[in-house]
Every structure is written in structure tokens, then in C-alpha cells.
Structure 1
């Protein structure tokens, strides 16, 4: 299934050159999002004739964006070479959070080559994020040297971020307000930098490569140390809102008598369903996704189970509202929300099925995000890949 989730403007021009660029874009985008495809598959999916597909595959290989291998042995019919996206065309990805800055390297096709988490003692400033990113990349020099091309840098920010210029309008848990982020990173790294909201990018990643590849209408929720954010995919397209900030689902009220939230309200989803409370129950100071999953896989005592069930019940209130409002095919839960769901899936599924109107809760599928700890990195990479996919060109 082809989707237009993140796009860049096509190059100016007319006639044959513009048509060729559009055709190259379509082939490369298919390879990026579907993985290796035979020339016969590409012919079927695009409607182009075989000679056109062959010429386009050859052009992409000459640009260093794709390569071909012999078809698998034993296939019936005329052999057709497999065309692969070049996974050594990569994006640097960055995810600042309240307790760490994670830096990674992601290749075309969503392949994560490297991921480094740099723990911090307090929420990093923009300057600290830039410094940490530069230092981590220095340590990743051999990995970077092994790539054929670095397309740019994608940053997943836990806050309201203007994608047009990478300005962070508000990231309350980081203490950022009206902070330029893309510009200082670009200057420090000498690469183009693109930034977006982390939950929105997570929804893009799961839609293209993960648990929502087969759905057109999806609500995605990501839970991290910074709180809970969301993304809504409607008919295959992200819901952005009038100012581009749709998806602040973490500020849905689930408990009118709950804890105060930094937004000024009480009982928001992200104050009641909270990673810090879960870590307290587990006697952990901090944990990345993999560490949290491992801790929750161990036998749990009554206090941990009680906290898990309390949070699941509050999460069910929010999910029921989202089912009633958006009528999605699926709700995908990422970050620590996926860990919570996996701890007692029947409790959450049963509550949503029972409480949503008109039987909608029985039809919606609750799914854990498939990309797990790589989720936000893969999503952020899409920002850097968008210009290359829109207008393929040699390095």
C-alpha cells in the first residue's frame, strides 16, 4: 500500500525531466516503504512498462540510492532481479528527552544501524542537546564512514515543534519555549536538519513500517519520560490541525480529581498514566524501553500489579474517548504505554470494548507498537529522507 505520510515539494520543471523525477520518486518510495521488490513487482505496482522500470532501477542504482541482486533460486517464470533500497543511504536521528538524548543512524528502508542513549542528570537544554549529539556522532565515526550518503538529520521533539523551520514552540518537560533547534544543530553538524513532534513521527513510523501498516484510520499514543503524545491518521493522512499541532492527546482529562498538570488542568492522561509512577513501583530510577520491558517481564509483586491496573484503567478512559471521537480501525500504543498494555492486555481491551458507544470499542483493535525502542528514530528519519524520496538525485 502506498501512502503519502511525509512529503516534500517536487522539483520545479516541466516535461520529460519532471516526469522522470516523479517516476524515480515513486519507485524509490516503494522500495523504501516495502523493502526489496522484483522488477516484475514494481511493474505491477506502478503500472509502468517493464522497460521503464528497468531504466528507472538502473538510474537509481547509478545515483547510489538502490541496488539489484539476482532473484531467489526456484522462482517460477522469467527471472526478475530484486531491487533494494540502499540501506547505506542514512539519516542521523536525535531524540532529546528529560533523562537522555538518544542519537541514531537509520538507513533507507527503516533499518536502524546504530542507537546510542546518552543519559543526562536533568532535562537537557538546546545547547546541551547539540553538544551531546556532536559528541555521540564523533564516537560513531566508523559507522558514519561506512555509509554511502548522509541525507540529513531528523529530530523527534517531545513538544510543539514547527516543522517548517525546526522551531520548538513549547516542550514543557524539557523547559524549552520558542527555542530554535534545527538551526544550531545544522550549524554544528554541517547537515540539513528537520524537526517534528515525537508522537506524530511515531505514528508515521508505525503506519509505514509497524503495527498500523494495514490500517487507514489509526490513533497512536506514545508514552515516555516526557509524558504522552499522540498522532491521528485519517484515511492514510496525518491529522495536523489548523496550526499543525493536532495530537496533544496526553492532555485529555481522565480524572477530574487527579493530580495537577503543567497545562493548568487536573487529571490529564499524562499525569495519571505516568512513567515515573511505574518506575517508582518497580524501584527503578530510570529505564529505557528495553530495560523497562525486561523489568516488567520479571515476576511482579502486588504493588506493581496494582499500579499497572490503575494506570490501565485511566488509559481506558482516554482510549474510549478516542474511539468515540475518531472511530479508528486501530489504536497503537508505543513507549511505556505498550509495556503497560502487554502487562495485562485483557483488562484494557475489555474496558474499551465495554465503554465505547455503539459497539465501536468491540471493533477497534488495540495493538502494541511493533518498532519498540527504534520507533522514534525510524519516525525522525522520515523527515530527513523526505527530500530525497521526493526528488532522487546523485550524492
Structure 2
């Protein structure tokens, strides 16, 4: 059982930068692994046992982690306590879409504590999305102030987002251009806020907590109401590009003479592989991935079968190009793309083996995203956890934002 949450502030002015770095390393390991023993931390960090014990003690005093007796029986020698992330340390997550704005509360360890989906009658403007998110957060404020220490807000936006300043340069499906959404939401709530591309954040979340865990090179593709987004992990790091725009695999060219995309080009992947077409054939006006998969899987319509095969062919073409360029050991498919793969599990692998280069094709294993509907919340929260993980002792010194009114 977890001990009571403490409110001990960090020591003023950490005198030893190496200690701060070691605290950051340990906190990150506990956060990413969720449960890890002192012995494992000693092995993974290369620090000696007494140093790890001292650092864990400081993290406990700060209320950032807690320890329990090791699980299981029959252990030889002195048992090593297990270290857990404190659920009282949390981040807020916001994901605007064409039909809703979703707001989540995610605690350390990537655990979604709460998720609220606010559906909209039309595509929200940037200001409307910020107003919706800030109103929902204001409604949660009593609970947040009483039970959590919030590291900040992360926004996952389907579009080109500059991570450095949180400005959405272009979100074509939302119709946003040059919108400083991170600054807008920070001013509306009093919490620090950062924003980034939704698919890039999804790739990082799957790398840390999901199907990509333990893999250094992966391609992540997400398909939803706002089209198709992607993220590339190379040697364990997100491939960002000059301004953080790398990974827009939804705009890979797949068809000569295709329809015009929102981006202005023709023949993009997301114009040929479309959730809306599948929903229409399934007789659904909207619905989550499970509803779509069930409807398509139960259909005996030749038209449905043909459309699924057609979309898989174009998806396979895009993946062939990506596999040849990036040589991943994993391809993670999310949203309705995961549904397409589940409906015909052998199709994409067959396309890669027959059309991609032999070496890269043989190495690329295809997986369905593991985090499900929580993925964007976890990915966005990770963006807000990043500054905290760099200096965990500083969290206690940061004053809580003033309460909202109205």
C-alpha cells in the first residue's frame, strides 16, 4: 500500500549537478518501467548500492516515488525493495480532433487516471479548443489542487507543430494556421504547456510503454478522423527534422492521378486510405475502432472486402517506401490502420516481402499499437513530463497555479 503523499519541497539550490542528473536518471527509469527494484536500478545506472539507496530516499522524501516489499516468495538473500512512481505526480493531456477535444489526467508511470471527451458539433477553431480544454481543467481544479502535483500540460495536435514554441504551423484537417496554442492554453490555465504533433507523441508513447518497448528503430502510423500521421524512431530517438515536422507519412505519394489532398498535393496516402470510407461501407456515421472492426469483420459484402484490400495495398506501398528508407525493426499501426491489418493480418507482411528490399523487409515486424484509446493521452502527457524528469527535485519548488474562477 502506498504511504501518504508528502509535500516536501526540494532543497533550495542543488549544490551537486551530478546528484541532480542521477535523480533525473532514476526518476526516468522508475517512470518508464513503472515498477523496478533497487537492485535493478543499481545494475541499470552503474551507481553503487549505497548511492542508489540515498537517491531513492531523497525521491521518497520529495513524494515522487514509494517503495514496497518485493513480490513473490522464495527469494534468496536480502530482498530488494520495489520502487514505484507516485500517482500523485501527474500531467494534463489535451488532444483536439475534428469532432472532439479530449482532456486527460495521466500520472507518473504513464497511467491514465481520467479522460474526458468533449464532442463538438463542428471542427473547433484553435481558440474554441483552448476554451473547451481550459473549462474542463477548471472543473477538475479542486481535485487537482487537493490530490496532485501537476507538471504541466501536453497538447497532441494533428498537424505540423513546432515543438520549440508550441505553434501549430498548419493543421489542415482542423483548418489551423500559425496558432500559438501552447501559449494560449498556458495563459488560460496557469499551467506550463507544450504542444507537438500527435503521431510523433504516439510513436514515443509506444516506444516507451507499448508495442515498441525495447526496440530502437520503429515506424508508427496512426489513422483517425483527421487523416494519417506518423512518427519515426531512429536509434531510440524521435526523428524530428529541422523544425519537428519529420514523419508525415500520411503524405507519402502512393497513387498517380489520385485526388487532391488537404496539403495541396495529389495521391497522398491519406487520400487513398481513409477511415470515412470504411465507416460509410460499415454503415456507421461515427464510432470507435472497436465498432468499426466489428462491423467490417462481420460483413460479407464483396464491396467491403474489395475496399479493405484496396486500402491495404496502398498502405503497403507507403510502408514499402518507409521500410526501404528507415530500415525499422518494428512497424506499429494504430487507429483504423490497426483495424485494416487485423482484418487481413498476412497482407501487409506479404506486400513488404514481395516489394521491399529483402534485408529491411525481413527485419520489419508489424504490430498493432498496444496502448489503445489511451495512447494520445499518454503521449501528450510525456511531453509535459519531460521538463520534470530533467529536474525532478525542482517540482516541489514550483508554486501551484492560482485557482481559476468562472
Fold match, TM over 0.5?
yes
TM-score norm. by structure 2 comes to 0.90
Q: Is the 8 A contact 1:43 1:53 kept in 2?
A: yes
Specify every segment of 5 or more residues in structure 1 that has no aligned partner in the other structure, as ranges.
1-12
Q: Deviations over 1:316-339 (max 9, x none)?
A: 110111111111111111121111
Q: Is the 8 A contact 1:87 1:108 kept in 2?
A: yes
Q: Using the TM superposition, name which of 290-299 and 119-128 deviates more.
A: 290-299
Aligned to 1:44: 43
1:1-395 map, 5 Å: 17-74=16-73, 75-141=75-141, 144=144, 147-296=147-296, 298-299=298-299, 301-393=301-393, 394-395=395-396
Q: Is the 8 A contact 2:93 2:154 kept in 1?
A: yes
Q: Using the TM superposition, name which of 332-341 and 18-27 deviates more.
A: 332-341
Q: Is the 8 A contact 1:239 1:246 kept in 2?
A: yes
TM-superposed CA distance for 1:77, in Å, is: 1.9
Q: Deviations over 1:298-349 (max 9, x none)?
A: 4553332222111111101101111111111111111211111111111121
Please give the alpha-carbon distance, in whole angstroms, between the structure 2 residues aligned to 1:146 and 1:310. 53
Q: Is the 8 A contact 1:289 1:372 kept in 2?
A: no
Please give the alpha-carbon distance, in whole angstroms, between the structure 1 residues aligned to 2:143 and 2:206. 25
Please give the alpha-carbon distance, in whole angstroms, between the structure 2 residues aligned to 1:289 and 1:60. 40
Summarize the Cα distance change of 1:189–1:229 in structure 2 as closer, same or farther, 3 Å threshold. Answer: same
Secondary structure, counterpart of 1:165 in structure 2: coil
TM-superposed CA distance for 1:101, in Å, is: 0.8
Aligned to 1:8: none
TM-superposed CA distance for 1:139, in Å, is: 4.4
Secondary structure, counterpart of 2:384 in structure 1: helix
Summarize the Cα distance change of 1:360–1:148 in structure 2 as closer, same or farther, 3 Å threshold. Answer: same
Q: Is the 8 A contact 1:64 1:148 kept in 2?
A: no
TM-score norm. by structure 1 comes to 0.92
Please give the alpha-carbon distance, in whole angstroms, between the structure 2 residues aligned to 1:196 and 1:105. 17
Please give the alpha-carbon distance, in whole angstroms, between the structure 2 residues aligned to 1:185 and 1:243. 21
Aligned residues: 382
Specify every segment of 5 or more residues in structure 2 that has no aligned partner in the other structure, as ranges.
1-12, 397-406
Runs of 4+ in 1 over 6 A off after TM superposition: none
Q: Deviations over 1:219-265 (max 9, x none)?
A: 11111111111111111111111232111111111111221112222
Q: Is the 8 A contact 1:296 1:339 kept in 2?
A: no
Please give the alpha-carbon distance, in whole angstroms, between the structure 2 residues aligned to 1:171 and 1:143. 33
TM-superposed CA distance for 1:88, in Å, is: 2.2
Q: Deviations over 1:262-318 (max 9, x none)?
A: 222221000000111111111112223444344445455333222211111110110
Summarize the Cα distance change of 1:105–1:309 in structure 2 as closer, same or farther, 3 Å threshold. Answer: same
RMSD: 1.8
